[in-house]
Amino acid sequence: MTIAAPPPAVMQRSHGAGLIAVKSVTNRTRLDRLHQSGNAKIRIPETRTECLEAVLINTAGGITGGDTLNWTVECGMNTATVVTTQACERIYKSLGENGRQTTAITVDEGASLFWLPQETILFQGGRLQRTLEVSLADDARFLGLEAVLLGREAMGETLDDAFLHDRWRIRRAGNLLHADDLRLDLRSNNTLHDPSILAANRAFATLVWVGPEEDGEVRALRLGRVRALLAGSAGASAVGPKLLIRMAAPSGYALRRQLMPVLEHLLDGRGLPKVWRT
């Protein structure tokens, strides 16, 4: 008698999708629509300002190969919204597939959206393909951040097998304003510590601010103020209505210390989300 071998185990995958839409009611931003499914959850803490704060939660605790996580943010006219995450997103070791995250953001006339997720931690063997698509009205404001930590500092983890593809597309009135593709593939190229790339740093961030058209003097003043706040391995440049900032730091703690004063400045006095201070 021949006994058939059991079928190979199928790894369970997590899939989540969340949508939040906001509208303006008597000069305050209020929830219009909310949808959440799977491991994607959205919470709205109480605030005492006209700005609505939304906290995105991945109840799976992280992303691994084959997982998907999709966020949609729709900001109605004359709204002000801050979107952040409950904690750092963890990218766990994969058996070969990429984990995938997509974010689609729409910001209507006179609205402001501050996209400020906490840091992404890329574990040894982690694989992430992430897309950020932003559509802005002519006079909309947008502040977007993505910060990445390479390995778990507390465990002394050093990455020599990991993959990250971060794709940004920001359009205003349908015209492409910013395109960015960051690709790190440590399976075939382990040169992160090259002086021309990250040197001794293990944390980095990209920050993009977009506002209405300004004259050259106002734009130069804003750029000068941001550069005065920057420290360490960081740089800022301005092209038209866009301000682009890139940072690198030896640790996540050092990166956050660089980020916070710049974020506070670009938030126009609104203050950072509560979860950033706990």
Q: Kindly report, residue by residue over 242-266, the tens digit of the pLDDT.
A: 999 999 999 999 999 999 999 999 9
Q: What are the residues facing 41 on neighbouring strands?
A: 57
Query: Is 4 contained in some domain?
Result: no
Q: Please count the helices (runs of H) and the strands (runs of E) in the chain.
A: 2, 17
Instruction: Return the pLDDT at 47.
Output: 82
Count the domains in the chain: 1
The DSSP output letter for 200 is T
Closest to 263 measured CA to CA, from 250, 245, 251: 245
Distance separating alpha carbons of residues 164 and 105, to the nearest angstrom? 21
Query: Is 101 contained in some domain?
Result: yes
Cβ pair 107, 75 in contact under 8 A: yes
Domain ranges, residue 52: 16-277
Give 202's contacts (C-beta < 8 A, 6+ positions apart): 149, 150, 151, 153, 250, 251
Query: Is 5 contained in some domain?
Result: no
pTM of the shown model? 0.91
Instruction: Return the pLDDT at 3.
Output: 63
Query: Is 7 contained in some domain?
Result: no
Instruction: Return the pLDDT at 173.
Output: 93
Instruction: Return the pLDDT at 6.
Output: 54
Give 2's contacts (C-beta < 8 A, 6+ positions apart): none
CA distances from 239 to 142, 151, 207, 235, 236 (A): 15, 33, 14, 14, 10
Query: Is 3 contained in some domain?
Result: no
Instruction: Return the pLDDT at 106.
Output: 98
Angle, helices 216-229 vs 252-266, to 10°: value is 150
Query: Is 2 contained in some domain?
Result: no
Instruction: Return the pLDDT at 215.
Output: 60
Residues in the chain with pLDDT < 50?
Answer: 8
Q: In this structure, what are the phi and psi dihedrals at residue 137, rounded to the nearest 5 degrees? A: -75, 170
Q: Kindly report, residue by residue over 94-134, the tens digit of the pLDDT.
A: 988 999 999 999 999 999 999 999 999 999 999 999 999 99
Query: Is 273 contained in some domain?
Result: yes
Query: Is 139 contained in some domain?
Result: yes
Closest to 15 measured CA to CA, from 32, 35, 40: 40
